[in-house]
Amino acid sequence: MRNNLRIMRNSATLEALFPKTRERVLAATMTQPEKWWFLSELAEYLGTSPSSLQRELSALVDTGILEQRRDGNRAYFRAQRRSPIYRELRSIFEKTAGIIPTIQTAVARFGDKILCSFVYGSVARAQEHATSDIDLMVIGIIDLAELTPALRKAERALGRELNATVYSVDEFRDRVKKNDHFLTAVLKRPKQFVKGSERELDAITGKLKTSKNTRRPNRS
């Protein structure tokens, strides 16, 4: 079973296993198993209406995959960790829908040492194969040796190799200004952000300073 889970990867795999609404509910709850989701909050997170989720949530609670608690008139839901298939379900979703949340959890303890980080390459383009490595860019005041134990933890959870490239802000900015071939190619292609956004990335490369249509970030 464990070896089979290692080759499960993208949304096509999930769509073959679960109806679409159930897949999205399980992706949210299994990749954030500690979180209690209020119905309307979960609906907003998934970009749908609360009424469209009620039937799936009831079915998942009835079968013991999710647990429910009430606070007044509000119902909250989260993964039922005592379910006999909890670990297997969580593993499936961590290896498919959960790449970014898993990396975020693994590196969260570094806080502001990481200014911006993103996944690039075939995973970001949604063109990866079952055993594709995950390419990770990290910009901050941290080195690869310090980051490596957290990355190994994420690798164990995902069942896939993480290849990290780490730069200081000055080094990253300098290489971009010199039109470094590798970084030029990376920056032009799709990215999935682990921390920060395109705005933070533009601030690092200096693009925000030169854009007449973009205000400088508020530094107060």
- Per-domain boundaries in the chain: 2-94, 99-210
Owner of token pair 């690039």: 120
Under a CB-based contact definition with an 8 Å cutoff, are residues 109 and 135 in contact? no
* Higher-scoring residue by pLDDT: 27, 218: 27
DSSP, residue by residue, 44-93: HHHTS-HHHHHHHHHHHHHTTSEEEEEETTEEEEEE-TTSTTHHHHHHHH
**CATH placement of domain 99-210:** 3.30.460.10
For domain 2-94, the CATH class is mainly alpha
Q: Give the separation between CA 73 and CA 93, rounded to whole angstroms.
A: 30
The model carries a pTM of 0.59
- Which of 8-17, 118-127, 129-138 is predicted with the least confidence, judged by mean pLDDT? 8-17
Q: Give the separation between CA 93 and CA 85, rounded to whole angstroms.
A: 12
Report the mean per-residue pLDDT for the chain. Answer: 83
Beta strands in 88-180 (DSSP E): 114-120, 134-140, 162-167
